[in-house]
Chains A and B, each alone.
Chain A
Amino acid sequence: EIVLTQSPATLSLSPGDRATLSCRASQRVNSDSLAWYQQKFGQTPTLLIRSATTRAAAIPDRFSGSGYGTDFTLTISRLEPEDFAVYYCHQYGNLPWTFGPGTRVEIK
């Protein structure tokens, strides 16, 4: 089973800041099959990025994904007030599919 480690656990930033979230896999993720989700408090997760770098439909271009193999990054270029939430990475290149523990982006 691939274990995903996300860092940092919490990121304290201000609106307008750049956010860089890391997701590291315990072994190579086949076909870079790595997705990122945003979950706001009390809401259902929303797909942001699939295949490590492809933005999902209707996702603003301030969200971008990068990386390959075992190291992946989600970048939010300029934080908007609605971006403060928890972000999860998820790998689906290897069974069983797994999620990372999440990174909370909070207002500083």
Chain B
Amino acid sequence: VQLQESGPGLVKPSQTLSLTCTVSGDSVNSGAYYWTWIRQPPGKGLEWLGYVFLTGSTSYSPSLKRRIVMSLDISANQFSLTLSSVTAADTAVYYCARAANGGSFDFWGQGALVTVSS
């Protein structure tokens, strides 16, 4: 199983950050996993952002709930993240991950650094 993040590395303040995670070796159509986004600001710890499930159901971090949307593209075997109205505080390495066995992250993407700057 491999996951790979893709998207712009630089986003201007107040604009929207969009990332896609391409999954290989598994199917996002599987009902066994939660497809998850996690981020890590430079030099800091990990922050769970949310997940999307096969049915399209989602759960988001309360602190980001008003700005975040996650979705699945079953035909492309991808899932995506959009985060609106970004500020410098959203600068981080963004990881996509597969949550299995109820929610532990067994496979991760390599991470994508997104910098918010004008």
**In the complex, are the beta carbons of B108 and A96 less than 8 A apart?**
no
Q: In the complex, what residues of A have CB within 8 A of residue B104's CB?
A: 33, 35, 47, 50-51, 56, 90, 92
A34 to B61, CA, bound (A): 18
Q: How many contacts A-B (CB < 8 Å)?
A: 63
Out of B59, B95, B101, name the residue touching A50 (CB < 8 Å).
B101
A47 to B103, CA, bound (A): 11
Q: In the complex, what residues of B have CB within 8 A of residue A57's CB?
A: 106
**In the complex, are the beta carbons of A31 and B46 less than 8 A apart?**
no
**In the complex, are the beta carbons of A35 and B62 less than 8 A apart?**
no
Q: In the complex, what residues of A have CB within 8 A of residue B101's CB?
A: 50-51
A92 to B33, CA, bound (A): 13
Interface residues of A in 42-68 (CB under 8 A from B): 44-47, 50-51, 56-57
- Give chain B's interface residues, CB within 8 Å of chain A: 45-48, 50, 59-62, 95, 99, 101-106, 108-111
With A57-B106, A90-B46, A96-B60 given, name 16 new contacts (CB 8 A): A1-B62, A33-B102, A35-B105, A37-B105, A44-B95, A44-B111, A47-B104, A50-B101, A50-B104, A51-B102, A56-B104, A88-B46, A90-B48, A96-B59, A96-B61, A97-B103
